[in-house]
Amino acid sequence: AQSVTQLGSHVSVSEGALVLLRCNYSSSVPPYLFWYVQYPNQGLQLLLKYTTGATLVKGINGFEAEFKKSETSFHLTKPSAHMSDAAEYFCAVTSSGYSTLTFGKGTMLLVSP
């Protein structure tokens, strides 16, 4: 079985500050890891993904995430928050041969001026 834990249902930052959204996963096989973003009243959009290879993954809108196998983590970061980054962020895990994707409960990012 696989599971995802996102620490913090809400994270608040000031515009220009570092964004750090935490994700830890559990998987008995090598994982594929994803971050999705959901803007209000919209569907989910892929930010970035890790399957194999380089453990530091760069995505859209200046976000990046690092796969750390020893820590079973895949935290999402952005050096400088913009007001437009305010949204809900979901971490998800699957593996090769798995039929389903398991999501975390989501973290709402709030950005203040």
Partner 1 sequence: NAGVTQTPKFQVLKTGQSMTLQCAQDMNHEYMSWYRQDPGMGLRLIHYSVGAGITDQGEVPNGYNVSRSTTEDFPLRLLSAAPSQTSVYFCASRDPLAGNIQYFGAGTRLSVL
Q: Indicate the residue among 62 and 106 with the shorter CB distance to partner 1.
A: 106
The rounded distance, in Å, linking the Cα atoms of 19 and 78 is 5
Instruction: Give residue for tokens 């975390």.
Output: 104
Distances (CA, A) of 13 to 27, 37, 55, 102: 31, 17, 26, 27
Instruction: Supply the minimum distance, in Å, between the C-beta of residue 109 and partner 1.
Output: 15
DSSP secondary structure string, 62-100?
G-EEEEEGGGTEEEEEESS--GGG-EEEEEEEEETT-S-
Instruction: Supply the minimum distance, in Å, between the C-beta of residue 83 and partner 1.
Output: 23
Binding site for partner 1 (CB under 8 A): 9, 32, 34, 36, 42-46, 49, 51, 90, 92, 94, 96-97, 99-106
Q: Indicate the residue among 32 and 74 with the shorter CB distance to partner 1.
A: 32
Q: Hey, which residues does 68 pair with through a beta bridge?
A: 73
Q: Indicate the residue among 42 and 70 with the shorter CB distance to partner 1.
A: 42
Q: Indicate the residue among 70 and 99 with the shorter CB distance to partner 1.
A: 99
Instruction: Supply the minimum distance, in Å, between the C-beta of residue 102 and partner 1.
Output: 8
